[in-house]
Amino acid sequence: MANNIFRKRAFICMLTLLAPVSVLFGAVKDMVKIPGGQYTPFFSDVPGKSTAIKPFYLDIKAVTNAEFLLFVKANPRWAKSKVSIIFADNSYLKHWKGDFPNEDNFSKIKDGPVTNISWYAATAYARWKGKRLPTLNEWEYVGNIAASNDTRPIEKIILEWYSKPTPAVLPPVGSTFKNKFNVYDMHGLIWEWVSDFNSIIMTGDSRSNSAINRDLFCASGALGAVDKENYAAFMRFAFRSSLQGKYTVSNLGFRCASDIRN
């Protein structure tokens, strides 16, 4: 009997010792390693030229309301009533009842992707997790990977989703297709923030920013090259370029990435 207790204690002791090790691998939990590869940016100085993407980790699913609530509880300055007006507009977390919604009014949405959050809030969450947001190129690279559990071509999945209105209550994360990198919901659930969304330079006054606007669809070869897939990408790029960091949108959420440290 005493021996048994001793064993139990030893086991607990071992668990305690191992805890820091699991923290070390924390960045990898619920993430998947994305292999490196080539990605051809939708807009580029040299159209058609590809960019190398280094291997990185990406969250398998988007961040949920329940996960974001933990972040807000730990960092109350990101609560609805406290967030600074420079970091989020006034529809921030508008689908939440109060700063810290309780079980009763949260159960419907807790497993759904968190939306109505600004770029600053998404970035703060990622930092809190020891992660970062994926870059635009990383996101697009993974977004172009074919589905593994859906026979439709990716562009068909995307366009069918774009043509549907956003449901009042978003379905849970992981409810749409999985791609060949084992990442869920790259399309079909929400739009997602990327770390450098403001690197798309296609707005502004063409008279004052003419040197920049050569990247624009009206001037460059993008229109000529439009196929269905590019049309879908164009929608994403146009949407991103219309954003500001403090904007919150009811179907815009995020997932985190992290570097691979050797």
Partner 1 sequence: MKKIAIYFFFAVLIFQSACLLTGCESSIKQEQKKAADISEEPLGSASLYQTKGKWDNQYGDTISLSKLAGKIPIISMVFTRCTFSCPRIVADLQAIEQAIPVDKKDKVVFVLVSFDSDRDHTAELKAFTKQMNLNKSWMVLHGNDDDVRELSMLLNVKYKKQENGDFTHSSGLTLLDTKGAIAIQVDGLGKDPKDIIDKINILQN
Q: List residues near partner 1 by CB under 8 A.
A: 45, 51, 81-82, 84-87, 119-120, 123, 195-196, 198-201, 203-205, 207-209, 211-212, 215, 241, 244-246
Residue 223 CB, shortest distance to partner 1, in Å, is 20
Tokens of 51: 């960019």
CB 134 within 8 A of CB 58: yes
Kindly provide the residue ranges of all beta strands, DSSP E only, lying in the chain, ordered along the sequence.
31-34, 37-39, 51-53, 56-59, 191-192, 252-253, 257-258
Residue number, 77 or 228, with CB nearest to partner 1: 77
* Strand arrangement, sheet containing 31-34: 31-34, 56-59, 257-258
Q: Measured between alpha carbons, how far is 233 from 43 in angstroms, rounded to an integer?
A: 10
Residue number, 103 or 205, with CB nearest to partner 1: 205
Tokens of 159: 């366009």
Residue number, 61 or 240, with CB nearest to partner 1: 240
Residue 108 CB, shortest distance to partner 1, in Å, is 28
Residue 36 CB, shortest distance to partner 1, in Å, is 17
Residue 193 CB, shortest distance to partner 1, in Å, is 11
Residue number, 52 or 168, with CB nearest to partner 1: 52
